[in-house]
Structure 1
């Protein structure tokens, strides 16, 4: 916050505040700064001070002035504008526009923004559990078991197995049996987190310019990641029972997509889970139009085992299963994996070797012990129980502050209707020390939205909702 006792002028402080947000990608390229009058009111300074601050940002090359429109964050990469696909040749125009994702949703913007610590306050926009939720004694124990033996040298002083530690792949194979996904160790490939596993699949099966169907709203990093690889994104509306099959069918006829990326269970951000009927029809489309499906099951540890998964119904024929342990256990161990059809495995392994050679066997072996001893299962049960309580408290607080849930609250995230533009709300809440996840982040083109995604584990704080209500009221005034 600005202070009149600082050695810096108010204009210098305000310019520094915006500069920090721009450099940390909390203000993405293309974002509009508040108007001079609005910013002066927000910061309790004169319009002259705001003009002086914006002039400093202009001089630093961080923003640009657009006549009659205001000040906007510059896109240093000068990326191309959004391009539409196949408008002239498509036999039937889908109801949803086909786009290359807007540049302001680039990966670095999202990652820096979502993980840049604003303050010591709980951050409702974060995508992970608070560290104390994952604190355990069994993880240090698993590492001590290895570091106290000759296994430390064996696992540290030479490259590990290309496909991943054999003990972990055996453990993962047994774990997948519990959700009816048939995957022997020979079909499992470890990775540096689930995002790396998704990247291995994309780089193996796709080439720049290939069309890819992705659920929308969806995981914002996936839009950004595919865009950075030059893929053509075909947004598929996500419904309560699954993806919009009519839109998928139109895409298949018009563009012959190579891949469909889906979060079947506890979809991010809606919390929806796929129904068996919808799953069967998705698989029928895949067989009819010859595309693969990558099923991102990042939140599997929070979901019931009986939840419908495409990979279980398909038996890993056209499907590829992806998951990881950052969300539930150890974010910085960076362990993920994929289970794939035998016909694709060698190609996926080659891509992994070209990108990382191998993965850290020491942490993989430690994780195998945590799984085999039942420690991971018991830990996940404790987290689910704690999350149930946090979800109930958050829902009660949100409703008490005149918000509603677009979808039935489930899993880690809630999809909340706020009644105001959440891009503007996000910038106002940053001044209060809170980071939000506005609805526009979860769409390929980042359209204005009144929705926001909240993390139930970090949004159960009554103080946050009081501040939220005050700021929202000021926006409506």
Structure 2
């Protein structure tokens, strides 16, 4: 809240507010600041105060003024990727047109804003845009017990004073092999490699199989961090529309003919952000394409702990021939333990291990041994069952509130996330919600080409309170009212 003080003018306070958001990446490069009149209304100050604040931001080099368009957060020149819809609409000349619509690089606009907001903590309110469960949900007594069992003097000396096993703790890899068998994925311990979280596993796969300039198919909407991570490695992103039954196979086939992609990145079960699960028929056809066009598939099963074991997984059908399975425990157990893993084809395991060793050497044995105990003793299974029950209740309450406040769901509400239709531009709405202490995940974040979207992703565990939805509805209605008045 802006307040009149002798030490700092209102314009200086407003400039400092925007400057901090820009530096924290809560205002994305390329984002448009509110118009002078709108900002004055929102902040309860005069238009001259807003002009003074924007002038300060210009002087600091944080924003740029575009004639007759307003003020925008500065960014380096970038080129965005073409929409996969171009492939569908290109008709008989599909392949030729597709080669023109997919450029060299994808430039993410706000890939890390959500993560920075999560780490910084914009307020003490539940955050609807969070990608993890609230920490109070994850609290347990068995984690401390698991660590203590690995902390005897002899054990600490054994694995603290030397590097660990290159592929990861052997006990954990045996436990993971058994766990994967429950998902019908047959992976021997020697096919499993532990990593510093699931994101590191995805990075190891990319660095092993790809080179700068290679084409990679990624589901859209999809995880913003994956778009940004691949771009940082110099890859060319091919966005594949994600449908209820799976990725758009027609678009995938066209990409294969036109660009010969090396990799397809997929979330088969409880896809982020839609919650879709892959159908068996789609899985079969994806594997046919992979064999026909010689590309690998990395299956990110981050949300497996929330999903039924019988859900269709590409790695189970393929038997780890062209597929690589990636999993982790940050969503369900201990985010800061940073334990992830991959299960790979036998002929790729050594190459992937070499890449891991070049990037991180070995992974910490202490937490891997503790995690193995949690799995072997059934503690993880019982904990996950409790979380699923708790999440079912939270989802029911959140869905009821969303519908009561005029929202609809673009896909069936399942799993951890909901894909919500709001009826307004959620990029603009997210900035107003930030003023109220809420961090949203606007729909544009989940597309390769950042274009305005009326969708947002919500975390069901963090949207059970009526106060959030009341604030959301009030600001959405204000935004709708402004749009209506402009149209008139």
TM-score category, normalised to shorter length: over 0.9
Task: Trace 1:120-199 onto structure 2 (pairs within 5 A).
Answer: 120-199=124-203
Determine helix, strand or coil for the equivalent of 1:150: helix
**Structure 1 pair 50–84 and aligned structure 2 pair: CA distance change class (3 A):** same
Task: State the TM-score, normalized to the length of structure 2.
Answer: 0.94
Q: Does 1:342 align with 2:340?
A: no
Match for residue 24 of structure 2? 24
Q: Distance in 2 between matches of 1:240 and 1:84?
A: 22
Task: Trace 1:194-205 onto structure 2 (pairs within 5 A).
Answer: 194-205=198-209
Q: Distance in 2 between matches of 1:456 and 1:426?
A: 17
**Structure 1 pair 106–422 and aligned structure 2 pair: CA distance change class (3 A):** closer
> Which residue, 282, 285, 304 being the options, matches 1:278?
282
How far 1:7 moved relative to its partner? 3.2
Q: Does 1:430 align with 2:434?
A: yes
Q: Distance in 2 between matches of 1:95 and 1:355?
A: 34
How far 1:153 moved relative to its partner? 1.5
How far 1:102 moved relative to its partner? 4.7
More helix by share: 2
> Which residue, 86, 109, 122 being the options, matches 1:118?
122
How far 1:96 moved relative to its partner? 11
Match for residue 408 of structure 1? 412
How far 1:59 moved relative to its partner? 1.1
> Which residue, 78, 81, 85 being the options, matches 1:80?
78
Q: Does 1:322 align with 2:326?
A: yes
Determine helix, strand or coil for the equivalent of 1:425: helix
Q: Distance in 1 between matches of 2:106 and 2:61?
A: 21
How far 1:101 moved relative to its partner? 6.1
Q: Distance in 2 between matches of 1:41 and 1:416?
A: 28
Task: Trace 1:261-410 onto structure 2 (pairs within 5 A).
Answer: 261-410=265-414
Question: 2:268–2:300: 8 Å Cα contact kept in structure 1?
Answer: yes
Question: 1:99–1:445: 8 Å Cα contact kept in structure 2?
Answer: no
Q: Distance in 1 between matches of 2:440 and 2:105?
A: 21
Q: Distance in 1 between matches of 2:260 and 2:114?
A: 29
Q: Distance in 1 between matches of 2:428 and 2:334?
A: 34
How far 1:113 moved relative to its partner? 3.6
Q: Does 1:68 align with 2:72?
A: no
Q: Distance in 1 between matches of 2:102 and 2:461?
A: 35
> Which residue, 458, 462, 466 being the options, matches 1:458?
462
Determine helix, strand or coil for the equivalent of 2:173: helix
Gaps of 5+ in 2: 88-92, 482-488
Q: Distance in 2 between matches of 1:411 and 1:139?
A: 24
Q: Distance in 1 between matches of 2:248 and 2:214?
A: 21
The CA RMSD measured in Å over matched residues stands at 1.9
Question: 1:84–1:100: 8 Å Cα contact kept in structure 2?
Answer: no
Matched residues, number: 475
Match for residue 4 of structure 2? 4
How far 1:152 moved relative to its partner? 1.2
Determine helix, strand or coil for the equivalent of 1:167: helix
Match for residue 58 of structure 2? 58
- Give CA deviations for 1:144-187 in whole Å, capped at 9, x if unaligned: 11113411121211100111111100100010000000100000
Question: 1:211–1:231: 8 Å Cα contact kept in structure 2?
Answer: yes
Determine helix, strand or coil for the equivalent of 1:287: helix
Question: 1:105–1:223: 8 Å Cα contact kept in structure 2?
Answer: no
Gaps of 5+ in 1: none
Question: 1:187–1:340: 8 Å Cα contact kept in structure 2?
Answer: yes
Q: Distance in 2 between matches of 1:96 and 1:149?
A: 63
Q: Distance in 2 between matches of 1:471 and 1:109?
A: 21
Q: Distance in 2 between matches of 1:69 and 1:231?
A: 33
Determine helix, strand or coil for the equivalent of 1:207: coil
Q: Distance in 1 between matches of 2:166 and 2:56?
A: 52
Determine helix, strand or coil for the equivalent of 1:235: strand
Determine helix, strand or coil for the equivalent of 1:32: coil
- Give CA deviations for 1:365-390 in whole Å, capped at 9, x if unaligned: 00000000000000000000000000
Q: Distance in 1 between matches of 2:281 and 2:246?
A: 9
How far 1:83 moved relative to its partner? 5.8
Match for residue 39 of structure 2? 39
Question: 2:270–2:414: 8 Å Cα contact kept in structure 1?
Answer: yes
Question: 2:82–2:449: 8 Å Cα contact kept in structure 1?
Answer: no
**Structure 1 pair 14–323 and aligned structure 2 pair: CA distance change class (3 A):** same
Match for residue 49 of structure 1? 49
Question: 1:320–1:338: 8 Å Cα contact kept in structure 2?
Answer: yes
Question: 2:193–2:341: 8 Å Cα contact kept in structure 1?
Answer: yes
Q: Distance in 1 between matches of 2:392 and 2:454?
A: 26
Question: 1:101–1:445: 8 Å Cα contact kept in structure 2?
Answer: no
Q: Distance in 2 between matches of 1:393 and 1:439?
A: 22
- Give CA deviations for 1:376-414 in whole Å, capped at 9, x if unaligned: 000000000000000000000000000000000000000
**Structure 1 pair 394–352 and aligned structure 2 pair: CA distance change class (3 A):** same
How far 1:81 moved relative to its partner? 2.4
Task: State the TM-score, normalized to the length of structure 1.
Answer: 0.96
How far 1:92 moved relative to its partner? 4.0
Q: Distance in 1 between matches of 2:15 and 2:132?
A: 31
Question: 1:33–1:73: 8 Å Cα contact kept in structure 2?
Answer: yes
**280-289 or 95-104, larger mean C-alpha shift:** 95-104
